[in-house]
Structure 1
């Protein structure tokens, strides 16, 4: 498929950044001011890779930060005309610390929004530690490694997740690391789903 390819751990998307891409890029720029490691995962990755489907949120994992950094981040987001549609941004640390996701969106907007959560388990950590770069026009954002995204989508198992997995696998089959993909398939115990995927 012209216009989208995986080259040297970079997903190159040959089009102008859209509304979702600009939102991800703006949020990344703010996180980068605080050196907060982060990675975009889930449905947004499939959409970046050309899957035609809508989404109301962009999932982003961030490394654990302390209460003081969270307060500074909330303040900077507010200064940049972001808000928390589901709660005040000032409650950010408390919500994240309790394992909840938080919503962040441009002022007065509810969708699309960012759904932010702390890295929680080995799969989240692997997404963060092995993130690759997505380049959309002149914008770049970190995204989870495609092999783990595919395996995790199989693990989630909802129709949209399975369709995302098929799309990513079909599009990038030649470029993916099969040993890496199979390792995640085994860790997530989705071997039967993976066998079906390969036949799709």
Structure 2
């Protein structure tokens, strides 16, 4: 058992603490999406934070499957009813923004940070995150998160300092539980073999 009470057990990331304000935002949004049966997955920096990395983030990145305009409009109304607003663009432009390949910010009324950064799953890596999502359990709640092997490889691919630190954190934290085969497959598809070799030595 890790000091932090965080472990990867049978493909479930068990986060042994009560949900904080970021988690509550993610959980509430997840419940709303589930009400519409919209496939979604949390990725990027927020996953590293869930996994115990102490770093601040302003945005919680979430990929959703492509939805049609009617569903998007219904989702926008439901968000407004639940006390959310579009922190950068009004919620009623949700479909237009997403269909355009832009992200839309969703936040509790009147606040800008933290916010959810929502986007349609686009490329094969987004699709793979959706398709291979694992579960994170925070207290009694669960949300879907991107598979850690792909997260690590993608962080190596992004290559900024905080991304590399996230990759190191996830790798060292879960080295025992990761699927090396899957990790190496993503490493090779993202063409980050050298970065991966450095990671293994870190």
Q: TM-score range by the shorter chain?
A: over 0.9
Task: Report how many residues are paired.
Answer: 200
Matched ranges for 1:96-135 at <5 A? 96-135=98-137
Quote the Cα distance in structure 2 between the aligned partners of 1:199 and 1:55.
Answer: 27
Match of 1:90 among 89, 92, 97: 92
Quote the Cα distance in structure 2 between the aligned partners of 1:70 and 1:24.
Answer: 18
User: Considering only aligned residues, what root-mean-square deviation do their CA atoms show, in Å?
Assistant: 0.4
Q: 2:117 aligns to what SS in structure 1?
A: strand
Offset, 1:180? 0.2
* Cross-structure match for 2:183: 181
Gaps of 5+ in 1: none
Which aligned runs of 4 or more in structure 1 are off by greater than 3 angstroms?
none
Match of 1:172 among 167, 171, 174: 174
Alignment partner of 1:9 is 2:11: yes
Q: Residue by residue, what CA displacement relative to the aligned partner does 1:8-31 show, whole Å, maximum 9, x if unpaired?
A: 110001001000100000000100
Quote the Cα distance in structure 2 between the aligned partners of 1:162 and 1:37.
Answer: 28
Alignment partner of 1:64 is 2:71: no
Offset, 1:139? 1.2
Match of 2:142 among 136, 140, 143: 140
Q: TM-score, normalised by structure 2?
A: 0.98
Q: TM-score, normalised by structure 1?
A: 0.99
* Cross-structure match for 1:41: 43
